[in-house]
Amino acid sequence: MNKNRRSFIKNSSLGLGAAATSSLLTGGGLPGMSAAYASELADPLAPKKPHYPGKVKSVIWLHQNGAPSSMDLFDRKPMLEKMAGQTIPPSFLEGLTVATKGGLGTLWVDKNRTWKQYGESGAWFSDLLPNLAQHADDMTFIKSSKTIGATHNISIIKLNTGELTPGRPSLGAWVSYALGSGNPDLPSYIVMYNRSQPRGGPVNWSSGFLPAAYQGTTFLSGSSPILFLDRPDLVSATQQKNSLALLRDLDIKGLAQRHSDSELQARIRSYELAERMQYAAPEAVDLSKESEATKEMYGLNDPTSKGYGNLLLRARRLVERGVKFIHIVSGSPEGETKVVDWDAHANLPRNHGIMAKMVDKPIAGLLTDLKARGLLDTTLVVWASEFGRTPWGESGNGRDHNPWGYTQWMAGGGLKKGFSYGETDELGLKVADPSFAVDTYDVHATVLHLLGLDHLRTTYVHNGRAERPTVNFGKIVTDILA
């Protein structure tokens, strides 16, 4: 590195973007760096064009952690109601290896549940979701979902990354990589949860083998969304700026020797982004200016739904500010002394009563709010879970894990509204017609398509192989598209 370039970097206060630009102007960049790679270093989250015009600009990914029971929420099964208390007929188990921990119990239903059809679509909802039921004609059901694995750790990682083990990028990281950011003052990919992370924690929003700049940024539920983001009271703005400038210079000198170190690149950019986020992030999640009617719509006046409602109201504010992918995990409700999620191996009526109350009004409020603001046409809301639950009981009135057939749904731009795709068998155990089966890879391919991205052309070369979000699988579920 020549003297002029060293002097430029030493005195620069413009950060990595200025360093990369200087490098290009003075003779081709760091050793081995192409012009395109240098541009990527200058701003890895610069807006990028999709492969074709997308139907939506943002995704709100609602992971229902613990796996709710479709047949107690959306997927009414009259035969199951009639056969409750009996042993499941062997014909329903053909082709399945049942190795989940509860074994095979007798068929079970909650006899206190009531069901009703809603909207012009006539979609069935149980009384657990009275508010969400009002949006029956906004929703697109995938009732033939399936996955691999029957343990939360494995299936949650697969839900978010497409792989059964840690190491691959999450869907949000792929979106961030392919489209960049819609707001230079906020992360492109934000993760939020109330009280508890999913199993596996940050591996579910990791950038994997993609550069570290594309991993999800966790926003906490309080008024200070990011730990240690605020400037300490005893440190002046000038002192902070000088400290960051020194740190930036040292990091850039290190990068000149290790230009392929994506974590160092991400660290340099994260300091620059953090400085801007000291102003942008608190404002983005500040709910004090929201009306009381809006807060009520999201369930903020109910202790059970308040925590989750806060996250969804923040998600709407983040969508308004151009954030591309917002990953929300349904953690534990406020007021519960023990961590609770949808994993109801016992006492499903109590468990699902609590969890449904936590999410029902906030999600309905989110859909109402997005629609009223004209944002639902440009936003994709996805209700996703790692798997479903079995029609047979466990511990009397619980249900075991079911990867063979369950319901997920979407709402937003580019979809057939009030539409249901596929079905499970008459007991709700597995996908009735395998040709309608929708695996995690297919959901990912469809989400990417709605964003304007071809999952086959969204690639990144890793260890000499062109990797893509859907690994070696995935098809767009074209029948649900408008």
Better-predicted residue by pLDDT, 14 or 243: 243
pLDDT band at 24 (very low <50, low <70, confident <90, very high): very low
SS3 366: helix
Rounded CA separation 166/164 (Å): 7
Structure tokens that stand for 392 in this block = 């047979």
pLDDT band at 207 (very low <50, low <70, confident <90, very high): very high
Distance of CA 40 to the CA centre of its chain: 25
CB atoms near residue 126 (< 10 Å):
21
Q: Is the pLDDT of residue 105 over 70?
A: yes
Closest CA to 422 of 402, 396, 443: 443
Do residues 344 and 69 touch, judged by C-beta distance below 8 A? Answer: yes
- Select the more confidently predicted residue: 135 or 100: 135
Element spanning 204, H or E: none
Strands (E), 113-262: 115-118, 123-126, 139-145, 189-193, 217-218
Average pLDDT over residues 421-439: 98
Cβ 360 vs Cβ 129: under 8 Å = yes
342: left (phi over 0), alpha (psi -120 to 50) or beta: alpha
Of 177-191, 262-276, 285-299, the range with the lowest mean pLDDT is 262-276
Q: What percent of the chain has pLDDT over 70?
A: 82
Structure letter (DSSP) for residue 27: T
Q: Rounded to an integer, what distance in angstroms lies between the CA atom of residue 252 and that of residue 268? A: 8
Q: Is the pLDDT of residue 79 over 50?
A: yes
Residue 289 to residue 292: CA distance in whole angstroms: 9
* pLDDT beyond 80 at 366: yes
Neighbours of 202 (CB within 10 A): 14
The Cα 407–Cα 387 span in angstroms is: 9
E strand or H helix at 18: helix 16-25
How many helices (H) and strands (E) are present in the chain, helices listed first?
A: 12, 14
Q: Where are the beta strands (DSSP E) in 215-340?
A: 217-218, 325-329
Q: Classify domain 46-225+285-480 by CATH number.
A: 3.40.720.10
Do the beta carbons of residue 451 and residue 189 sit within 8 Å? no
Among residues 82, 59, 70, the alpha carbon closest in space to that of 129 is found at: 70
CA atoms within 13 A on the CB side of 466: 5
pLDDT class of 414 with cuts at 50, 70, 90: very high
**Confidence band of 235 (pLDDT split at 50, 70, 90):** low
> What are the domain boundaries of the chain?
1-28+242-280, 46-225+285-480
Cross-strand pairs, 421: 142
Separation of alpha carbons 19 and 268, rounded Å: 11
Q: Which residues contact 289 (CB under 8 A, 6 or more apart)?
A: none
